[in-house]
Amino acid sequence: MSPERSPILAINSGSSTLKFGLFTEEAGEEHALARGSADGIGKDTGKLEILDGEGKTLRLENKKYGSQNDALSEVAGPLASLGLAQPVAVGHRMVHGGPKLRDHVRITSDVMQTLESAIHFAPLHIPTSLELIRGTQKIYPELPQFACFDTAFHQTMPEKAYHYPLPEKYLQQGVRRYGFHGLSYASIVHQLGGELKSRTVVAHLGNGASLAALLDGKSVDTSMGMTPTGGIPMGTRPGDLDPGVLLYILRTEKPDTNALEAMLNHKSGLAALGGTSDMRNLQKAATEGDQAAKLAIEVFCTAVAKTIAEYAVSLGGLEMLVFAGGIGERSAQVRANVCGRLGLLGVNLDAGRNDASEPVLSSGASLIEVRIVPAQEEIQIAREVRARL
């Protein structure tokens, strides 16, 4: 089988999920032979689901997974038993590669050592990714493996967007804005193709959420910073904070760095404001009169709208607004709340299209085209790997 048609296995790990896809290329586009997810990793109950390229269920069973590698082992067996062509390469989504790994790269021992040295840039993400890579290498010892970094898409940001106003020595140490969700943004640019407007803002809204300002398809600014904790408030992360808040906490409670990091990444954001990180539960509670849930939604939607308006300034105007991610693709209420604040920019939603979550949401009177474009991170991983085979 030629490299162009050979299957590539894409692995996308989350905190409690492992998404995967087996892709082959036809007529210049990646097509799924199989895709699915292992859910509930580290919890009492879990589920494995594998679908074929048309969405038909090939395997569905309840499983309990202690770790990402346990889930990967359970995925590899069924994929091999379903009679599918075996992969010729594996691509891993990597949230962060630190300052030295900024582009997608084949994994070597040197790359692994560089990632080890960059753990302090993303201590919640890089160790898990390294463990999963090692587990994959044991299952597929002969296959080339690639690291696909969420930070790679944002290499085009100008210095004014990535350079923090701190002493220069910190920039030399790698303290800068990196930006994340890059595989999602790259997949959206690919999907829109010639329909992408020159001045576009993409809002990737999920449990982790960020926005990016795109000029002619290139990132010129993004909301997340040196880590995925910054930017707008998220499910369990606060987003940007006055540094004095952290100094206050350090002085009054004297937590160690692990405790402070756990609070910022797991006990803040929407969960701290509304009691849950799940937007669906917040919306249900808000309709029942829960004031805390209402506040959480208002804080979230206001932050998204303010960032869109900020990026309209950065871009010198706005022609297209794209929603992606679990919340962006599925929550008509959030989209309406955000866009309702952007009338001064000429944003006007068609209520019926929005309620139906149609691909194009804007009305004929809107000066800004508003769309939903699904994030396709696994397909983008396959594209990036195939380009480097």
Alpha carbon distances (Å) from 176 to 10, 215, 230, 243, 321: 29, 21, 12, 16, 26
> What whole-number distance in Å separates Cα of residue 43 and Cα of residue 30?
33
Asked if 220 contacts 213 with a C-beta cutoff of 8 angstroms, the reply is yes
> What whole-number distance in Å separates Cα of residue 247 and Cα of residue 2?
57
Active site residues: 150
End-to-end CA gap in the chain: 14
